[in-house]
C-alpha cells in the first residue's frame, strides 16, 4: 500500500471511529451501560454535544496552521471529515434541544429562536455548518470555484458564533468559553498574519 492508500483505508477509518467515541459515550450513558447523566439528563446530553461541536470546529480550524507549521501535508486529507464531525455534533446538539428539550412544541421553538439571542446565534451557526456540509463534496467544490473557498472561510464565523453562544448563557464562571475564545483568537491571528504576508507585491496566492 502506498501512503495515499494507507490514509484512505487505514487511518481515515481509525480517525472516523475515534471521532465517533463522544457520541457513543452519550448513547452508552443514556441507555445506562456506562457513566451517568446526572439529575438533568437532557441538559447533560445537550451540553456534551454542544461542547464537542465547539471542540471539533477548533480542531478543524487547527488543521491548516498545523500543516503549515509542521509540513505534514497529509493532515489536509482529514480536514473534511473533521468538518463533517463538527456538523454532526452541532446537529445532534440542535436535535436534542428540538426533540428532548423543547419537545417539538413549535411555539416554544419559535419563541426561543426569536427571543433568546444566544439561541439565535447557535441557530445561525448551524445554518452555516449545513451550507458547508452540503458543499463539502468534491463535485460541488469544483463547480463552486472560488465561492467555495469564500463559503468555507465561514468556519471562523461558526467558531465565533459558537463561543459567543456559549459565553452568553454562562451565568458566573466564564473560564471555559474564555479558553475557546483564546484558542479561536490564536487560530484566526495565525491566519491573518499569513494572509498579510501573502499580500506582499507579487505574491497573491492565499494560504490553503
Ligand atoms: C439551533 C442551534 C442551537 C441551539 C438551539 C442551541 C441550544 C443550546 C442550549 C439551550 C444550551 C444550554 C444548555 C444548558 O442549559 O446547559 C446550549 C449550550 C451550548 N451550546 Fe448550543 N445550541 C445551538 C447551536 C450550537 C452550536 C452550533 C454550537 C457550537 C459550535 C453550540 C455549542 C454550545 C455549547 C459549547 C454549550 C454549553 C455547554 C455547557 O454548558 O457545557 N451550540 N446550546
Please report the pLDDT score of residue 6 as a whole number.
Answer: 94
Q: Ligand 1 pocket check: which of 50, 125, 178 to mutate, most ligand atoms within 8 Å of Cβ? A: 50
Q: Which pLDDT does position 32 carry in this prediction?
A: 81
> What is the CA(201)–ligand 1 centre distance, in A?
43
pLDDT of residue 129: 98
Q: Ligand 1 center to residue 43 CA distance, Å?
A: 10
Distance 51 CA to ligand 1 centre (A): 8
| Spacing, Cα 40 to ligand 1 middle (Å) | 15
Write out the chain in H/E/C secondary structure.
Answer: CCHHHHHHHHHHHHHHHHHHHHHHHHHHHHCCCCCCCCCCHHHHHHHHHHHHHHHHHHHHHHHHHHHHHHCCHHHHHHHHHHHHHHHHHHHHHHHHHHHHHCCCCHHHHHHHHHHCHHHHHHHHHHHHHHHHHHCCCHHHHHHHCHHHHHHHCHHHHHHHHHHHHHHHHCCCCCHHHHHHHHHHHHHHHHHHHHHHHHCCCCCCCCCC
What average pLDDT values come out for the chain (208 residues) when binned by 10 residues?
92 98 94 84 96 98 96 96 98 98 98 97 98 91 90 96 96 93 97 85 54
Ligand 1 residue neighbourhood (C-beta within 6 Å): 43, 46-47, 50-51, 53-54, 57, 90, 93-94, 97, 119, 122-123, 125-126, 158, 162, 165-166, 169
| Cα–Cα distance, 159 to 55 (Å, whole number) | 9
Q: Ligand 1 centroid vs 171 CA: distance in angstroms?
A: 14
Residue 37: what pLDDT? 86
**What pLDDT score was predicted for residue 9?**
95
Residue 75 CA to residue 98 CA, distance in Å, equals 35
pLDDT in tens, 90-140: 999 999 999 999 999 999 999 999 999 999 999 999 999 999 999 998 888
Amino acid at each position: 500500500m502506498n501512503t495515499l492508500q494507507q490514509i484512505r483505508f487505514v487511518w481515515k477509518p481509525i480517525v472516523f471511529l475515534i471521532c465517533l467515541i463522544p457520541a457513543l459515550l452519550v448513547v452508552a450513558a443514556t441507555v445506562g451501560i456506562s457513566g451517568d447523566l446526572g439529575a438533568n439528563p437532557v441538559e447533560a446530553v445537550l451540553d456534551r454535544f454542544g461542547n464537542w461541536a465547539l471542540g471539533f470546529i477548533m480542531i478543524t480550524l487547527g488543521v491548516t496552521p498545523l500543516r503549515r507549521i509542521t509540513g505534514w501535508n497529509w493532515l489536509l486529507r482529514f480536514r473534511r471529515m473533521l468538518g463533517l464531525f463538527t456538523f454532526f455534533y452541532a446537529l445532534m446538539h440542535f436535535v436534542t434541544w428540538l426533540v428532548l428539550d423543547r419537545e417539538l412544541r413549535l411555539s416554544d421553538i419559535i419563541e426561543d429562536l426569536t427571543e433568546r439571542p444566544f439561541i439565535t446565534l447557535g441557530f445561525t451557526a448551524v445554518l452555516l455548518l449545513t451550507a458547508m456540509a452540503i458543499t463539502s463534496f468534491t463535485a460541488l467544490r469544483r463547480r463552486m470555484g472560488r465561492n467555495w473557498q469564500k463559503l468555507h472561510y465561514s468556519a471562523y464565523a461558526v467558531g465565533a458564533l459558537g463561543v459567543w453562544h456559549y459565553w452568553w448563557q454562562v451565568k458566573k464562571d466564564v473560564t471555559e468559553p474564555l479558553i475557546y475564545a483564546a484558542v479561536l483568537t490564536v487560530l484566526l491571528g495565525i491566519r491573518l498574519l499569513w494572509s498579510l504576508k501573502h499580500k506582499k507585491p507579487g505574491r497573491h496566492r492565499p494560504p490553503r
